[in-house]
Amino acid sequence: MLSPKLEEALNQQINAELYSAYLYFSMATYLSSIDLAGCAHWMHAQTQEELLHSSKMYEYVNERGGRVVLNAIKAPKTQWASPLEVFEDAYRHEQHVTSLINSLMELAISEKDHATQIFLQWFVSEQVEEEASANGVVQRMKLAQASPGGLFMIDKELSTRPVPFVLATANKA
């Protein structure tokens, strides 16, 4: 059984994961509006990944006898100055999510909830990948600024990112 503090914190993280999906979907719509279909595809995949994260947490809270309570999601940013700015924002957002996951882990440790610590370890590892992925795109876009066709090459590359299938049971992924 989850402590009330952990249940509340996990509910806040579910909300944060849903906000992340909403933010990445907004980024996808912006990128699509400036005809960067590959970049938009990358953000659609990111949207699905965040929905998968929220589903994993939803299932975990339920398995531990807690109750998921959904709250309002704030409106995301909708306009950026450039594709580079979009991905810089995505990278900063992933750094923020890492801090949230780390805080959750610290709470699980202080509550001596070993099962939640084990559950959260997947998210700790996932955030290393999330940050590296977003930062990788940022670094390639910075390098491509000096090359007129560089952005289009990156756009083509990003179109190949696999999209996770969210409707499957999240904990089986």
**3-state class (DSSP) for residue 67:** coil
* Kind and range of the H or E run holding 56: helix 37-63
Q: From residue 5, how far is each of 12, 40, 57, 76 by CA, in Å? A: 11, 37, 15, 27
Rounded to whole angstroms, how far apart are CA atoms 68 and 66?
Answer: 7
Q: For residue range 101-152, what is the model confidence (pLDDT) as tens digits?
A: 999 999 999 999 999 999 999 999 999 999 999 999 999 999 999 897 999 9
Band of pLDDT at residue 166, cut at 50, 70 and 90: low
For residue 172, give the DSSP letter: G
Q: What is the pTM of this model?
A: 0.92
Across 14-124, the runs of DSSP E, i.e. the strands, are none
Q: Which domains does the chain have, with CATH numbers?
A: 4-162 (1.20.1260.10)
